[in-house]
Amino acid sequence: MIFETHAHYDDEAFDDDRDLLLSTMQENDIGWIVNVGASLKSTAASIRLAEKYPFVYAAAGVHPSETAELNEENFAQLRVHCLHEKVVAVGEIGLDYYWDEPDHEIQKLWFARQLELARAVNKPVIIHSRDAAKDTYDLLTAHRAEEIGGVIHCFSYSAEMAQAYVKMGFYIGVGGVVTFKNGKKLKEVVEAVPIDRILLETDSPYLAPEPNRGRRNSSLNIPYIAQQIAGIRGMSYEEVVSATQQNAARLYLSEKGRREGE
């Protein structure tokens, strides 16, 4: 079955049919979903979903665009969320320089704090990095992120940068962009990175793959992503699903080997 490693089913885009949609996942071969927090509010909502559905897990974190909301008091609450039994990662965290706000120094401060939180609670990280390649890599290096482990979500940089992250022990999150006609860079990444370092994700409700580009995304679209990866790598669809499922289970569900692949 497919392991969906990054979705946002707490998003208002699913308010009308959230439960109906999630109830169809397993019959459509979606075996596991990680619902990823982007703020304190969405982290709490992600945990509620994980409590309701046995196949849903949560990630607890504050997206760089939401870091202005953080202070010592609510950061303490975030730490409590991270200790929940169904929280499997700290994320999504990182840097987003596409917008001018929040200030980049604020983003870097809380990125660093959340990296150290992940170390403290012994959980991997889900990294969001947009237009911030150097600062993201430098901060991860400075905080010895190879000892923490995790995934670079919605990877958007070069194949060379992807290989550097793989060397650091990270996984590469591949979503719908790999199916786009203008997704050449991500296709090169998929070709260059070992299959045992690739994770399937949708970022639902965003970034729906072809042929559903522009519509609301859901985990039901993951087969299009897996098929594209199979074609690029000369593998069968079943091989891609199996390999990526094992990768995600190793990162998120195993007590040992999150970073070393044991």
Does the structure show a pLDDT above 60 at 257? no
What letter does residue 204 receive in the DSSP assignment? Answer: B
Does the structure show a pLDDT above 90 at 255? no
- Give the pLDDT band (50/70/90) at residue 243: very high
> CA-CA distance, 256 to 168, in Å (whole number)?
18
Q: Among 82-91, 192-201, 251-260, which is the least confidently predicted range? A: 251-260
Average pLDDT, the chain: 96
Burial of residue 1 (number of CB atoms within 10 Å: 0-12, 13-18, 19+): middle
What letter does residue 64 receive in the DSSP assignment? Answer: G
Instruction: Give yes or no for a contact between 61 and 116, defined as CB atoms under 8 angstroms apart.
Output: no
Nearest to 126 by CA among 163, 79, 88, 99: 88
% pLDDT > 70, the chain? 97
List the domains of the chain with CATH numbers: 2-252 (3.20.20.140)
Does the structure show a pLDDT above 90 at 261? no
- Average pLDDT on 192-211 reads 98
Does the structure show a pLDDT above 50 at 256? no
pTM: 0.95
Burial of residue 52 (number of CB atoms within 10 Å: 0-12, 13-18, 19+): exposed
pLDDT at 89: 98
Q: Per-residue pLDDT tens for 60-69?
A: 999 999 999 9
> CA-CA distance, 151 to 47, in Å (whole number)?
20
Does the structure show a pLDDT above 50 at 228? yes
pLDDT at 254: 81
- Average pLDDT on 25-29 reads 97
Does the structure show a pLDDT above 50 at 179? yes
